[in-house]
Structure formats: C-alpha cells, structure tokens
Amino acid sequence: MIEIAIGTRKSKLAMWQTNTVAGMLEAEGMSTRISSMETIGDKVLDTSIAKIGSKGVFTEELEAQLASGETDIAVHSAKDMQSRLPEGFELIAFTDREKVNDVLVSDDPTINIGDSSRKLRIGTSSVRRVALLNHFYPHVETVEMRGNLQTRIRKMREGDCDALMLAYAGVKRMEYEDLIVKIFSEEEFIPPVGQGCIGIEAATTLDPEKRKKIRKCLNNAESEACLLAERAYLKQLEGGCSIPAFGLAKLDGDTLTLKVGLASLDGSKILQKVVTGTVAEAETMGKEAGDYILDNGGREMLAEIRRQQK
C-alpha cells in the first residue's frame, strides 16, 4: 500500500482541511501520515502579516519538509499561497471549491452593515477587506484582528469588535455558520484569489507515480482552471495576500470568466477587469487581466500601496 506523508499547519482549520484530504486519499486505498506544525505565521500574532515582511510565513517550514522528502505533500488554503512559489515547489492539485464569499459573523443578529446611524466595528486583518469595506461601507470602523478563527471569535466576544469579516469556507468548516449575519455578494465583494479552495503543494522532486496518483485522487478540474487563471493574475501583479487585490474565475461549460481587481488601501479607488476564454487559456487570461490592470493605473496604485506599507 502506498503511504502519503502530509504536512500541515496545526490550526483547527488547517487540520480540518488536512483530515479531509487524508480521507480522500484513504478512500482511494492509500494510507496517510500527518505531520503538523506551528509555523512562524501562526506564532507571530502581534504584527500584521503585511508587516512581517517575509513571504510565505505560513509555508516555508512546510516546504522544507517537502524538500527533504520528510513529507510528500503539504495541504494549504489556496488563498494563503504566494502567487509565485519558491523554486522547486508546485501546486499539484486543487480540491472541490467551497462557496467563495466573504461573510460577516457576529453574536448580535441585529447587526446591519447598511445602517450608518449605528457604530459598527468590524474585525479583519485583510487589506482587501479593509479597502472594500471603506469603499462600500465608509461608516464602518475596521479593527486589526489576527489569529486563527477561534482566537478571533474569542476576541470579538471580549469586545474587541462587534463583528468579524471572514471567508465563508473557514466559518463553515469550523462550524460557526449560526453566527453568520450577512453573506457579502461575490459581485461587490470579489473574493481574494483562491478563497474556498484547498491547494496541494509538492516538491518538483516528488516521485512522478505518486504525484499522478495524488492528483487523480484530489484534483478538481474546474477548481484547477479557475485557480490557474486567478493565480496567474496575482502573479502578474507580483502580489500575495498583502495587497488589496481580488480575483474570481467561474467556469460555465467551456467558457472561463475571470473577474479581477485592485483597490487602493483606503478603498477610494478600485480598478476592475473581466476577461473570458477557454480552460486552456486560463493562465494567459490571468496574465492578460494583470497587464490590463497594471497598464490602467494599477502600476501607480501598487507603488503607492508599497510606499504606504513600508
């Protein structure tokens, strides 16, 4: 029997995702061994990720295990992955995607984000969520909020904020669906690249037979097409989760539609572009959309964002 060694972060969400992936592999007759760790990104909670500076704070240590052969694959939230992986690593599969929306979570069901007469403090550490909230709901106050889902909910309950803006996928997986007070439309609040999807990373040195078996078992072709397009966009911007960029691809028959955008940090400016094509063109589309954004004000916006983040 072939055994797949899986690396993962230790957070409850990461473990949920890893157990799901392990279950899929086991259902196809493979055995699995899970090795979990706390990464730098999990440990440094007092600084926002955008400011830690180093790329891949959640991934570097897992990649070291892949490179040494200690593990075969690492399981990640696809949206936490840098658009350009370090040399020697690749994403070999993308699982079935969960609903991609952002949601608002609170213990107070009467919260209405549209009501500007009431003070509302929303916890998030995402530059994209802050920018979009400023843009669409300028009366809302945002509060910096790091840590895993459970920590954030605890902080909300301690009074740090009135509500949290989170990805539906994580809220569902951690069984906090009862606290959802609003589901943001994916048209208005276009999600970040990769939201809702689990990405499987491997070293390029992974045994090709193993790679093929893992891929066959875990990869969803639709997710893959969408993720390739979205990630190619982010790569063209040379971005990761520290810039307020967003991108969502949808597959309808053979037609892939990619909607992307970039916001200024304060949300005052938003650039958007929609491109369509075939599955085979996924990465070209992402690149094309990225070039369009860069050439139409995005380059200056990115320079400004990077200046403000220094």
Which residues of this chain interact with ligand PBG, rule CB under 6 A? 77, 79-80, 166-167, 169-170, 195-196
CB of 165 to ligand PBG, least distance (A): 8
Indicate the residue whose CB is closest to ligand PBG: 170
Task: Give me the least distance between CB of 240 and ligand PBG, in Å please.
Answer: 11
Nearer to ligand PBG, 174 or 270 (CB): 174
What are the catalytic residues?
A: 80
Cβ proximity to ligand PBG: between 129 and 288 the closer is 129
Which of 226, 271, 234 has its CA nearest to residue 251? 226
SS3 99: coil
Cβ nearer to ligand PBG, comparing 153 with 305: 153
Distance CA 170, CA 14 (A): 10
Strands 180-183 and 245-252: unpaired
Q: Is 50 exposed, middle or buried (0-12, 13-18, 19+ CB in 10 A)?
A: middle
CA 64/CA 8 separation, integer angstroms? 12
Between 76 and 281, name the residue whose CB sits nearer to ligand PBG.
76
User: Which neighbouring-strand residues pair with 199?
Assistant: 76, 94
Nearest distance from residue 46's CB to ligand PBG, in Å?
17
Contact 2, 194 (CB under 8 A): no
CA distance 27 to 29: 5
CB of 80 to ligand PBG, least distance (A): 5
- Cα dist from 305 to 66, 149, 245, 268, 272, whole Å: 33, 27, 11, 12, 17
Token representation of residue 194: 């990769």
In terms of CB distance, is 59 or 77 closer to ligand PBG? 77
| CA geometry: angle 222, 98, 228, nearest 5 deg | 35
> Least distance (Å) from ligand PBG to the CB of residue 208?
28
Helix, strand, coil shares of the chain, percent, nearest 5, are 40, 25, 35
Of 59 and 134, the one with the shorter C-beta distance to ligand PBG is 59
Q: How far is the CB of 300 from ligand PBG (least distance, A)?
A: 27
Q: Are 156 and 124 in contact (CB under 8 A)?
A: no
